[in-house]
Structure 1
Amino acid sequence: MHASSCLPLNHIDRMTDSAGLIQHAIYDIPRRSSGYTTDDNARALRLCARLCSGDTDDRMIERVACYLSFMEHAQRPTGGFHNFMSYQRDWLDTNGCGDSQGQAVLALAEVRAGNLPQGFRDLSKELMNNAAHVLTELTSLRAHAYVIQAWAILQRASVPDIGELESIARRAVDHLVHAWKSSRQQSWDWFEPQMTYANAVLPHAMFDAAEMWDDEVLLSIAESSFRFLDKATTSGDVFCPIGNHGWYARNAQKAIYDQQPVEASTMAAAALAGLDLQHDQEYVNAFQKARGWFHGQNTQHSQMANIESGGCHDGLQPTGINWNCGAESTLAYLWTEVLAGEAHHVTTDTHSVATAMKNTLKLHDATSIR
């Protein structure tokens, strides 16, 4: 059975209106005053494009159409994307941030490579082509990482006419390699002097680059940086992400709180990217810990996700759960569940790792995709 028929999208649907996905919630009710972001609508677009089972999947196609329409509206005449839009549908920024450009292209790549109507894929190609020159000017490491992931999605799907994006992705890899070499020290195997948010997208991009270009140097950077991150975000036997209340600077103490769902989701995705290449138990374990964070396997033993509605609480604080269920948090949970469903089909070179993968993804019956 395709995941789109069993993954709960009730909360995402509640948070979506005719314009797109509303950014924040008060508890599990849309907070209209927060407006919309391209980041969140891109994440929703990517999720629904991945879940779409084809032309007969009418409800999912409607979701994709809504979020893709938002992306088309967000694109500026110069090719880049706005990020913040008010509930009154006025753009609140001039250019949008670098990360939102990368998120947009990553989502559009998912559409272009997906099982969707031709017009949807054609529009995605057009929007990506319009944004190409903006992508060459990106400075954010995470934006570079999203571009690399986008190109890898298209390459795996054998999408034609992606030579320009490959060149941009190659330059993005060079930026990440330079950052890693510049920041790395004996006790700090990382791309920046401080770990902040969505950290795992950086080694994830390096795994993708190593796969696409069959490059052992890139694979070595991906492996070492992933292991460093895994160690930094493990407390006992649970995933303990870098807290956004202070982050984690080199030669300083790591902030434990507030923990954000996006950290667990990006770590889960990076672990599977590593597993695809290395078939090593450490990546299975890392995925299990990251996914388990949503289901109570965290420093507060708190259930972060609502497995009935598909919503997810916004963070874990010293005093417990942030009860609001915003767009980013909810999409982080849903994307992780999609990956968990797909991970059952990961092929490995050894029976032992395949068996471990099957067993460790079964956290308990209540956490399976419903």
Structure 2
Amino acid sequence: MAKQAATAVIKSATRPPMRLPPLPTIRDIVKLYRLNAAKQLSQNFLFDTNLTDKIVKSAGNLEGAYVCEVGPGPGGITRSILKAGAAKVVVVELDKRFNAGLRLLSAAAPGRVEIVNADILTYNLAKALPLDLAVPWEGDPPNVHIIGNLPFNVSTPLIIRWLEALALRTGPFVYGRTQLTLTFQKEVCERICAPPRSSQRSRLSIMSQYLCRVKHCFRIPGKCFVPKPDVDVGVVHFTPLVRPRIQGVPFKTVEKVVKHVFHLRGKYCRKGAAELFPPERQDLLEELFAVSEVDPTVRPWQLTMSEWDRLAHAYWDICQREPWVSDYDFRTMKGEKFEVPPMPAVGERHT
């Protein structure tokens, strides 16, 4: 008991103070440094500390955590992260106008805030934090988090990029199953979290849910932001799965199948899938649905994850047997000459 008490005292002494000294409000910071929101960067400020605290709470327990915050702006969510007990916050901000306000926050929390001026679409998050924070993939998620109020103009390409990094276990996922807590415009949020057979089901639903457990945490009315966006905002929490729901197929291949099938989301899934193959090789389209045992006359949003798994594997098997199929894309092949191998004779067809 005495040993445990001594250990607790040592931990308490070495833990950085969590309470921040008195600081100007975020609204005052914006006025002081004349930080007008840049429309071309899809910037919207959130001044309500109750909402920034709620976003951070959605990430889970941040006591002693290492956090990478995307697009901190004037630092509202950053303050909530620090108040929640994070040991270190690396803020990645493209717009250098916010540096003065962020440096003020860094001075108030010595050693706990690092400012990185970079484009999050190209910045390698594997460099942001010490690699000794990494834990085994099969274990609990590391004490590493990504949190961000994402600009609408980069949210979709960014999450797809992170999902690919997740599949490859690169970038922020070199530490293990790093969790993400992010904001999206309401419509994108609904697509990410849409369950099977929901009319909101989309490419983002499949790509997110085959790799992660996703949770729609809560909605923020657009009127809470300055300037007010035309849409409401949703907060989504991502927890990477130990085992993806589609295994043994490269991320790019899964993405290609899902993207093409959803290209004509209101039509039978056969319509979109037909674009995976040249018109001269309809035998491959027939094989895709025969081998996967997926009904070609259902809509893409009606397919279950198990059916997407079978479609992806059937397509990947065709690509393994006929490598030229991987290079075929009807969008890029329009107007170009593409040598299509002839359909095999009846006796030579794959069974």
TM-score normalised according to structure 1 size? 0.24
Name whichever structure is richer in strand by fraction.
2
Greater relative contact order: 1 or 2 (C-alpha under 8 angstroms, separation 6 or more)?
Answer: 1
Larger Cα-atom Rg? 2
Name whichever structure is richer in helix by fraction.
1
